[in-house]
Structure 1
Amino acid sequence: MTPVITAEQPGHDHGGRPPAAPAEGSAAAVAAGFAADWVADRDPVTWLQRLQAWCEPGLAQALATADPANVPASAVTGPPTKVDGSAEEGLRMRVDTDAGSLVLTMAATDGHWLVSGVDFVRRAS
């Protein structure tokens, strides 16, 4: 089989237009994956490597300075739910954990979702 070679710029379709915004449902899958990896491993190298797959580069750099031992949660307790936003503007998704809610800012990048921001709201005692 002969490989197909194209001069197309990454992230653009054959018409030279940027890709359409991804479906909001796929943002939930990315949020779920990020949340699962955020609580899963406390080894700093493994933790960062796993999270980088779900993140924009700027967030990945910021997480490189974080200590996963300070993650307050140890388990995801619910599915991602949309807080606000749209596929065109970006979304905020909430994922409940055993210690509170992880709030993720999601950005549509080159036709797919990536996590661009992280906040955590602790559960009231």
Structure 2
Amino acid sequence: EEEEEEEEEEEEEEEEEEEEEEEEEEEEEEEEEEEEEEEEEEEEEEEEEGEEEEEEEEEEEEEEEEEEEEECLEYINFCYKLVISVCCERSVVVVPHKDTSGVTRHVMRGEKCWCCASQRHFRCHTTCHARSLQP
């Protein structure tokens, strides 16, 4: 009987140990799953932040381009008015503009037109110059 009791106790102890091991394994698996979920959530958050940053950068670039275009149009309109008003007064025409190399220079009436190579009266080339002017 004592032997049987000892065997039963040993079996119970073994079962308890097995149960404890199983519980530990389950806990480890749960912890691993939680860690994986946290990592996935972090990756998703990082992706979303990256996308938001890209969108903001694109919007900023578009705004800058629009501002540049507006400035260019304002400058061209200014030059049109300047050229026309000075030509009508039949005085010396001095127009600040950038030539094809990007250098700002002044065109006087009677001077050879750098954009159409004509030497006619400058008034004839108002459109030609204003179209080629850039800020």
- TM-score, L = length of structure 2: 0.30
Q: Which has the larger radius of gyration?
A: 2
Determine which structure has the larger helix proportion and give its number. 2
Determine which structure has the larger strand proportion and give its number. 1
- TM-score, L = length of structure 1: 0.32
Q: Which has the higher contact order (CA 8 A, sep 6+)?
A: 1
